[in-house]
Amino acid sequence: MTDELERRVAQLESEVRRLRAREEALATFNQYLYGIDTGFIPDILDAFSENAILDVINFPPDGVDMHFEGRSEMEPLYERYQSRSGIISGGHNATNISLVIQETSDTASLTSYFTTTRPGGIQGGRYEGFLALESDKKWRFSKLAIISSWGWKTDTAKLSDSVTIDRSLFGGKSAQ
């Protein structure tokens, strides 16, 4: 093999690693979002490294800032979503996702806008964080900030009941 061909193959291998890393890191973000929307607490917590930092800024309804270090500190925050277990509530909409994989293909930065809709309110903000590839080959957040930028109370009228996960092709989780 010529030097030029070896260089091109190495370059392609590097690019494939980065593209795979991008897809796997994005899958972690989706795991987190689907976990919240269906009450899968283990999936939510598994999206974070054991010692991850989570900052929740301007949390509604009263604009409280919260700081958590490690999964065990985060767990009580996410237990409020347990009531959705078995229901596809689908309240999170993430848009304008920017996911940048570093040259080493083992760390990434992520930003995304979000909107959440629930009976009685709508809110929006940004996710900003860092992910890393861990020794078990799973991407997890090492740091995540959830910034609630705005929120409104709304008058709502029920149109239909929620759908249970048994009616989902994927059991309420993202496609795998």
Mean pLDDT by 10 residues, the chain (176 residues): 88 93 97 90 96 94 92 92 71 92 96 88 94 98 96 82 84 82
Residue 176 in domain: no
pLDDT value at residue 119 = 74
Domain containing 50 — which CATH number? Answer: 3.10.450.50
Residue 174 in domain: no
- pTM, two decimals, is 0.89
Residue 69 in domain: yes
The total number of structural domains that make up the chain: 1
Residue 166 in domain: no
Query: How far is residue 90's CA from residue 75's CA, in Å, rounded to a whole number?
Result: 21
Q: Quick one: CA torsion of 69, 74, 75, 76, rounded to 10 degrees?
A: 120
Residue 84 in domain: yes
Residue 173 in domain: no
Residue 136 in domain: yes
- CA distances, 176 to each of 31, 90, 162, 164 (Å): 10, 18, 23, 19
pLDDT value at residue 33 = 93
Full residue range of the structural domain in which residue 48 is found: 3-154
b (16+ CB within 10 A) / e for 137-170? eebbbbbbbbbbeebeeeeeeeeeeeeebeeeee
pLDDT value at residue 18 = 94
Residue 87 in domain: yes
pLDDT value at residue 61 = 78
Query: How far is residue 150's CA from residue 61's CA, in Å, rounded to a whole number?
Result: 10
- CA distances, 120 to each of 33, 60, 154 (Å): 20, 13, 5
